[in-house]
Chains A and B, each alone.
Chain A
């Protein structure tokens, strides 16, 4: 090994260490973007929105060929929402690009993620996993403007 090789190895080591610290930090300080998995129960296949508190909601979303149920959801600005997601039939995806919310709807499994709708507007919910011939039409909406509708 010559001295350049040693230098290169040290550099590589440092770069990798920085990456590692960055990942660990992102995992432990901002535990975001990672859906939790919830034990399955038939009640998750009944689409509904439940209000728990002033600004705290639960959405039980059901993906099916080719729509999201409930199809259109209205929420107040600043709503803190637990989204539970499962599928009635095949595998679907759920993507709200404006929130970088990204979940899969898999039959037999329940996915959960918590998000806050800080800004008013219409959030498009797009299915981003191929789910059959109607896949390109599978979109829902979450309208965040209530109560000043």
Chain B
């Protein structure tokens, strides 16, 4: 394995980007456990320890699913670009980017903790958050763009100096992910800056709610892949070597990342199956396109299984049984903890991926949409492979860059297994509950799970109870992680500080295939598909939306009067707004 040495400021940057979200994560994890307690009725209150349920749920979603994932994608992108191109990072863009992301996170966190943004991480209008919360989100997202702009320079330079050579799979993965991220988040940044911000400041009276939702989901589905692709990178580039084998095919890997680039965005309305203002035709079309995303997943399943089986054979596995190779992998080698983190994520993801197919299908979606099934499913993606990949890789990087060594090795290697067990119990509770109609995003402790309430639902008792058991195990696993992490940070430096990644060799010698060695054709296909999928959707929304909505606060069924029309301006909008209010 090739070693490189990072400069002081490159190291400082990486520490900053890894450690800030991990510190915040303590809050996110704490409230994860609390949510299971509220939902099961063990806590039958609107708030606990000064944190209200929906305020805490907003915190949980924003910290775990937006802040942690975005910071990690950027940090990991930096080190991958640095390692696999061999060029120094552009520190100007890198620090500007980090500064924007940190400022954005601080703004959003302060707004949520002060109770001014209990709107959940999806900030659906017309529930209004404080304007600074919207600005915080914009800074977090655009900050990550700036890091990407720095990598474009490195990529171009590499291209110029290595004409005709094959790009490294890790570079393809990082760049493909951020191209997708950049394109999809333009929509949500537009919505935040030009629709929601002026409306929340009282500059415009009303906002087009279906439009903000459609723009959100243009971003929202690709967001899921943005979380996932850094971990896919680890699966393709690092897992085969960690297992002691080789990658089955490098071209297949590139094909997969390009397919994600193409298919991630134009399938967003499958999150809006149950909504008005988008016609059935558009929904059908995107539903079918959604299965396009199944293709890269199948290729991945095959490639990874083949690579791992190859590793088992190299280790001396000789059985005729087609499945026994699975037992020959290095599951419990305490010095190879990254393998454990990744393989556990992969095991959880098998179920997470299959349940995802349920959501994507039109008919089954009507059974589970917005029920507890949904968090049950996506904890097996974002809180499974993504989260474990982030934790494992953070430890791996911190260990190497600081020149320190993890001391609690056995505990560390047990964490992902504990997390997997907890996750299966927790998600089973949520998914079965979802099939029985438990709503998501609901403080059920004071209504459905309160035996004294007229709304009491005894059929949900054992499912929510199961999530508590799972939640406690997850919480314990996360607690152990923080102990291992702190212990590492306070250890003495015992080795040199360097960076290296366990990088694959391929089983076959493969030719350079031009269309798998360039982004251009894929970007063109992506833009074309987005047009075909989203122009009709946007036209639908414009046609079918009958009225815009004034802002509301979560505590009050009457709209807030923010907008003061100035004398001489058109008051047409304001009048209809008054009308609604009198109803």
- List residues of chain A with CB under 8 Å of any chain B CB: 2, 4-5, 8, 12, 15-16, 19-20, 23-24, 26-27, 30, 32-42, 45, 64-66, 85-86, 88-91, 93, 95, 97-98, 100-104, 106-112, 124, 126-133, 135-137, 139
Contact = CB atoms under 8 A, between A and B. Distances in A.
5 residue pairs, one from A and one from B, having the closest CB atoms: A40-B546, A97-B437, A109-B276, A33-B366, A128-B439
B439 A127 contact: yes
A35 B583 contact: no
A1 B540 CA distance: 46
Given A27-B284, A130-B441, A139-B455, A16 B298 contact: yes
B371 A97 contact: yes
A37 B277 contact: yes
Contacts of A12: 295, 298-299, 302
A41 B546 contact: yes
A128 B442 contact: yes
A81 to B, nearest CB: 16
Nearest to A100: B367
B276 A111 contact: yes
Given A16-B294, A36-B280, A133 B54 contact: yes
Contacts of B355: none
Contacts of B508: 2
Contacts of A139: 447, 455
Contacts of B210: 106, 108-109
Interface in B92-139: 118, 120, 124, 126-127
Interface string B261-300: 0000000000011111111100110011001001100110
B442 A34 contact: no
A133 B53 CA distance: 9
A32 B545 contact: no
Contacts of B209: 91, 106-109
Contact of B362 (A4, A34, A110): A34
A23 B285 CA distance: 11
Given A64-B557, A139-B447, 13 more contacts: A19-B291, A20-B291, A30-B363, A88-B583, A89-B557, A95-B370, A102-B274, A102-B366, A109-B210, A129-B370, A130-B124, A133-B54, A133-B555
A95 B455 contact: no
B544 A39 contact: yes
A130 B557 CA distance: 13
Nearest to B208: A108
B369 interface: yes
Contacts of B295: 12, 16
Contacts of A4: 306
Count class of interface residues, chain B: 35 or more
Contacts of A101: 366
A24 B455 CA distance: 39
Contacts of A110: 276, 544, 546
Contact of B273 (A34, A95, A108): A34
Given A19-B291, A19-B294, A95-B370, A109 B544 contact: yes
A112 B441 CA distance: 24
A107 B46 CA distance: 26
Contacts of B455: 137, 139
Contacts of B545: 40, 108-109
22 contacts: A12-B298, A16-B298, A30-B363, A33-B273, A33-B366, A37-B277, A37-B278, A38-B544, A41-B546, A85-B276, A91-B209, A95-B371, A97-B371, A104-B272, A106-B213, A108-B549, A110-B276, A111-B276, A126-B439, A127-B439, A130-B442, A132-B127
A23 B283 CA distance: 12
Contact of B366 (A15, A100, A133): A100
Contacts of B436: 97
Given A26-B361, A45-B583, A109 B437 contact: no
Interface string B445-487: 0111000000101000000000000000000000000000000
A71 to B, nearest CB: 13
A106 B362 contact: no
Interface string B424-444: 000000000000110111111
A37 B366 contact: no
A106 B363 CA distance: 21
B126 A90 contact: yes
A20 B124 contact: no
Contact of B363 (A33, A98, A108, A131): A33
B202 interface: no
B353 interface: no
A125 to B, nearest CB: 10
B115 to A, nearest CB: 11
B547 interface: yes
A36 B274 CA distance: 9
A110 B439 CA distance: 22
A4 B299 CA distance: 13
A41 B541 CA distance: 15
B150 interface: no
A37 B549 contact: no
B554 interface: yes
Given A89-B557, A128-B440, A106 B276 contact: yes
A135 B442 contact: yes
Given A90-B552, A136-B444, A35 B370 contact: no
B356 interface: no
Nearest to A7: B302
B275 A135 contact: no
Interface string B548-583: 110011111101000000000000000000001001
Nearest to A93: B370
A111 B275 contact: yes
B441 A37 contact: no
A107 B361 contact: no
